[in-house]
């Protein structure tokens, strides 16, 4: 079973992701901010990380960079999912190491397809 770590500080967004992923047979881990998400990535080594950008303390760009450049975590694909929808945000997210960049609200079918693509 594919393990997905969702890093998002919004309880309502987290609930949406949890429901979407669970009904598609993914194991879901949850982190409420970038610091917690980075620690959980190291501890659990999920198959993929879904990363929000706008979060307190460590934002999603910083957390993506830390995960994708970490010794034990660099192999884990990060998919940024954010309300920030400017081309500069996409480019910056990819430069931090993200494999994909989606904008909220996310389409369930597209999300599942992308998770399968980056974990194959």
Q: Which domains does the chain have, with CATH numbers?
A: 3-119 (3.40.50.2300)
Q: How far apart are CA 69 and CA 105, in angstroms?
A: 28
According to the model, what pLDDT value does residue 71 have? 97
Report how far apart, in Å, the C-alpha atoms of 73 and of each of 42, 53, 70, 77, 108 are: 6, 19, 5, 9, 26
According to the model, what pLDDT value does residue 67 have? 98
| Helix 34-44 / helix 60-68 crossing angle, nearest 10 deg | 20
Rounded average pLDDT over 8-32: 97
DSSP symbol at 31: E
Q: Is the pLDDT of residue 27 over 90?
A: yes
What are 86-114's pLDDT values in tens digits?
A: 999 999 999 999 999 999 999 999 999 99
CA 83-59-90 angle, to 5 degrees, is 45
Q: How confident is the model at residue 22 (pLDDT cuts 50, 70, 90)?
A: very high
Q: Which residues partner with 30 through β-bridges?
A: 6
According to the model, what pLDDT value does residue 17 have? 97
The DSSP line for 61-84 is HHHHHHHHTSTTTTTS-EEEEES-
According to the model, what pLDDT value does residue 57 have? 87
According to the model, what pLDDT value does residue 112 have? 97
What are 36-87's pLDDT values in tens digits?
A: 999 999 999 999 999 999 998 899 999 999 999 999 999 999 999 999 999 9
Q: How far apart are CA 40 and CA 87, in angstroms?
A: 29
DSSP symbol at 15: H
């Amino acid at each position: 079973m594919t393990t997905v770590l969702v890093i998002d500080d919004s309880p309502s967004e987290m609930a949406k992701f949890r429901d979407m992923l669970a009904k598609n047979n993914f194991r879901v881990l949850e982190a409420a901010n970038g610091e917690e998400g980075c620690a959980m990535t190291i501890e659990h080594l999920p198959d993929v990380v879904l990363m929000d950008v706008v979060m307190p303390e460590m934002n999603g760009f910083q957390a993506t960079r830390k995960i994708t450049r970490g010794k034990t975590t660099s192999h884990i694909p990060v998919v940024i999912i954010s309300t920030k929808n400017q081309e500069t945000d996409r480019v910056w997210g990819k430069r931090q190491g993200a494999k994909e960049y989606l904008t909220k609200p996310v389409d369930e079918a597209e999300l599942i397809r992308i998770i399968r693509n980056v974990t194959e």
